Homo-oligomer: A and B are copies of this chain.
Amino acid sequence: MPWPKEHKHATRERIVKAAAAAFRERGVGEVGVAEVMRRADLTHGGFYAHFASKDELVAETLPHAMERLRGGASQDLLVTAEAYLSAPHMDHPEVGCAIAALGTELVRGSRRVRQSLAREIRKRLHELRALVPSASRERRDRQTAGALACMVGGLILARGLKGPVQAKFLADCRAFLRDALSATEKGN
């Protein structure tokens, strides 16, 4: 084997990393293979030595783009949600949650992309579920689903607003979750 055995794998990871940032920043449809390769300091012809298609890259990029969300691994759901619904996350989609950056595009993607998306959503739900303090199974499911929905929707909506209302809206979403997640358990 004429090349260091890890060389190709490292290059492939460089492409995925470049794609993860580029896609989240400008959208899957708006970013071409050529731009991804340019960002990875490669020429675009070499792309197909690593991936069978752009589609395969998108599907593979998704897990990478979800790996470490801003705020890192908190032990508390509310703390995690508040880091998610923050101005830095709103202003920097390129290092943030891929679902909030690309969700509505990915939903319409190929079978492969949609499979990857579904897996990532389930994984994220599972992670958040572990942060919900002990309660009935039903209540944990609700809190997890509701919190993630509020996080993703809140960030997308905040990015769609302009000026001071952006920060106000984010703060309202955080306050809503603070109330909702700390509310004492109720009937049924």
A100-143 interface bits toward B, Cβ cutoff 8 Å, 1 = contact, 0 = none: 11111111100000110110011001000000000000100111
Residue A88 lies at the interface, judged by CB distance under 8 Å to chain B: no
Residue among B102, B108, B114, B147 making CB contact with A162, cutoff 8 Å: B114
A15-37, CB < 8 A from B: 26-27, 29-30
Tell whether, in the assembled complex, residue A177 and residue B146 are in contact, meaning their CB atoms are under 8 Å apart.
yes
Among listed A3-11, A42-50, A69-77, A151-159, interface-contacting one = A151-159
The answer for the CA separation of A153 and B114 in the assembled complex, in Å, is 17
Decide yes or no whether A57 CB sits under 8 A from chain B: no
| Interface size class of chain A, counting residues whose CB lies under 8 Å from the partner chain | 35 or more
User: What is the copy number of this chain in the assembly?
Assistant: 2
Contact residues of A: prevailing secondary structure: helix
Near B by CB (< 8 A), chain A positions 155-188 give 156-157, 159-162, 165, 168-169, 172-173, 175-177, 179-180, 183, 186
Known interface pairs A149-B153, A151-B153; A107-B30 also in contact (CB < 8 Å): no
Residues A142 and B172 in contact, CB atoms below 8 Å apart: yes
